[in-house]
Structure 1
Amino acid sequence: MYQFTGCECWPDERPSIAPIIGIYTCLKRSETSTNIYLSCDMPFVNSVLLSWMLSQSKNQDIILPRHHQKFIEPLCGIYNQSALPTIEELIGKENYSLQNLVTNAKTLVLDIDSSHGFYNENTFTNINTMQDYNNISVL
């Protein structure tokens, strides 16, 4: 589906539409222990934010941003292969909730706000429809 990107594409290890399966597949196949996961519908996330998140690592399974002191973004995160046992346990129970993964894994949640130069109100905006796209095209 995404071969046009020139990136290697892997089918999910298990049939599902749950994002946790994609994370699981990539962690299993990755040649590095630490991996950045970013949903393709977040065009305003920048490399400075991701680099800062990486710099905060202290041996966690997962590092995620939180904005407005309440919204955690599990599809914009740093995932370590050390999270695989927790992910496998959840999948084995047919529990595909990313929120449960965040709760059960060793997770560092980083509060991000306007005091960080790489953040603004649109950083985590999702673009899923033509209307969303039209709304952001005026920014």
Structure 2
Amino acid sequence: MSATGIILAGGHSSRMGENKALLKIGGKTVIERIADQLSSLLPNVIIVANKQEDYQFLGLPLVSDRWKEKGPLAGIQAGLSESRTQNNLIVACDMPFISGELARILLDQLDQHQTAVPEIGGQLHPLFAAYRKDASTAAELALSENKLRIRQFLMDIDSRIITDKELEKMGFLYRDAHFFNMNRPDEYQLALKMAEEASK
């Protein structure tokens, strides 16, 4: 599949108290786990990070936000601008248990839509979602107008929202772990337990 995985590693990790992307689970940093999973699925992986020196050990292309201190939308825009493929998968750096099967389902939707975003239990997951490269133009416009809410951005472009019920009809049986993200120390401890249980 000609697509690019884009890992957003630009947050401040203020609630965690340390860089959550570099916390270890099962002997690997969280961002390594994500990068390995994406590399097994896709030919290209990019890291969006403002502290690039923290991620050089991955040996992957690095890009910084062009719009500073503008949140995740700036990371999405930077990654899409850097990408050389039409289809892209955006992944936050704090999601240690992503699903390759779901990634394929989302990317397949880009033949007809600018973005494909899962909605699980009524909650959108725009930081594990597929985006066409041309969505970067709309993201740049939103950033220039200081419209930073991703939900609004998704309403302004051709978005395909895929509900949990639709995913089940497609034969994808998601687990809560697929959308688990860790922002606080207690969530990191929970992630360690989840990984330990999964390895048994």
TM-score (norm 2): 0.64
Alignment of 1:1-139 (within 5 A): 1-68=54-121, 70-112=122-164, 115=168, 116-139=171-194
Which runs of 5 or more residues in structure 1 are unaligned? none
Residues of 1 paired with 2:136 and 2:75: CA distance?
Answer: 12
Amino acid at match of 2:131: Y
SS of the equivalent of 1:60 reads coil
CA distance in 1, matches of 2:89, 2:137: 18
The alignment yields a C-alpha RMSD, in angstroms, of 1.7
Please give the alpha-carbon distance, in whole angstroms, between the structure 2 residues aligned to 1:21 and 1:57. 21
Count of aligned pairs between the two proteins: 138
Deviation at 1:118, TM superposition (A): 4.4
- Structure 2 SS opposite 1:110: strand
**Amino acid in the other structure paired with 1:136:** A
Q: Give the distance between the partners of 1:34 and 1:117, measured in 2 at CA.
A: 21
The DSSP-based 3-state class of the residue aligned with 1:31 is coil
Alpha-carbon distance in 1 for matches of 2:87, 2:177 = 26
Identical counterparts, % of pairs: 22
Moved more, 99-108 or 128-137: 128-137
1:79 and 1:4 mapped to 2: Cα distance? 27
Q: Which moved more, 1:129-138 or 1:74-83?
A: 129-138
Question: For the Cα contact (< 8 Å) 1:48–1:118, is it kept in 2?
Answer: no
Relative to the length of structure 1, the TM-score reads 0.89
User: Structure 2: any 5+ residue segments left out of the alignment?
Assistant: 1-53, 195-200
Structure with the larger RCO, 1 or 2 (CA within 8 Å, 6+ apart): 1
Between Structure 1 and Structure 2, the one with more helix by share is: 2
Which 4+ residue blocks in structure 1 deviate beyond 3 angstroms?
113-118
Q: Distance in 2 between matches of 1:35 and 1:106?
A: 15
Cα pair 2:87 2:110 within 8 Å, conserved: no
Give the letter aligned to residue 146 of structure 2.
Answer: E
